[in-house]
Amino acid sequence: MDHAEGQGRERATRGNRRSRPNQTLAPVQRLRQMIQCMRLPAEQSQPASRFAAYLKAEADTGIKHEYRDGHIVAMAGGSPAHSAVAATILGELHAQLKSSPCQPHGSDFRVRYGERTFYPDVLVVSPPPQLDPELPHTLLNPRVIVEVLSPGTETHDRGYKWFHYQQIPELTDFLLVSLEQQTVEHYLRQSDSSWLYQRLELADTVKLTSIGCELPVAACFARMDMWRDS
């Protein structure tokens, strides 16, 4: 083999190496494709295809996303104080519901209303649970929902989420828990489907009569002190 032929084969080999797809990047490439689909403006993507992309993102990436009016939004992690308060509330409810058919759950349990999905910080479900036939592990009928407020999510929790939560027929209680103020705001559904609002301080107790629980406000923040500056 002469020198010129050798150089030609070497260049061809290098070209083949450059063009050969890197199999280890395939999951990343799939995720990028899904993200591009998520970013499509409404006029370029039908709601059905957008929701299908959401279902695929949830199944393929293992990352929690909420579906908000055609937009797929990855869920960010909370602060240690946020996590501590949510876990404390979940523990309080779990202790009180041990002998009850109602069950409390943390933020891994997805809720769906219409074409929107949410991951509440804490929820309680009463039997019989209604699960979404289209979206696995997704609840349609929460009885109680708790959102722990943080600076990045407060406006969204108070506005968008609450607007849609209150339209779930089975929901009787919605709690907004403020880390900064150490208060709990309680929305209680009335017989005419209106909502009674209460703002409760540390000395008060939230009465969740629909599930037979009482939640002392001070208990919600009892384990937050070590994270106060975080």
* Helical residues (DSSP H) of the chain, grouped into ranges: 3-19, 26-38, 47-61, 80-96, 154-156, 162-165, 217-220
Token digits for 155?
Answer: 């406006």
CB 44 within 8 A of CB 29: no
The predicted pLDDT at position 18 comes to 43
Residue 2 CB: number of other CB atoms within 10 A? 7
Average pLDDT, whole number, for the chain?
81
* Distance separating alpha carbons of residues 40 and 10, to the nearest angstrom: 43
**Would you give the DSSP letter of residue 131?**
B
> pLDDT by residue (tens digit) across 21-55?
344 444 444 444 444 444 444 444 456 677 777 77
Q: How confident is the model at residue 151 (pLDDT cuts 50, 70, 90)?
A: confident
Is 229's pLDDT higher than 60? yes
What are the structural domains, with CATH classification, of the chain? 3-74 (no CATH), 80-227 (3.90.1570.10)
133-142 mean pLDDT: 90
Residue 154, pLDDT score: 93
Specify the pLDDT at position 13: 45
Q: What is the reported pLDDT for 62? A: 67
What pTM does this model have?
A: 0.74
Higher per-residue pLDDT: 38 or 85: 85
pLDDT at 190 over 70: yes
For the CA atoms of 33, 157, 229, 109, what is the dihedral angle to 10 degrees? -60
Category of 66 on φ-ψ map: left (φ > 0), alpha (ψ -120 to 50) or beta: beta
Backbone angles phi, psi at 225, to 5 degrees: -55, -40
Please report the pLDDT score of residue 169 as a whole number.
97
Confidence of residue 230 (pLDDT cuts 50, 70, 90): low
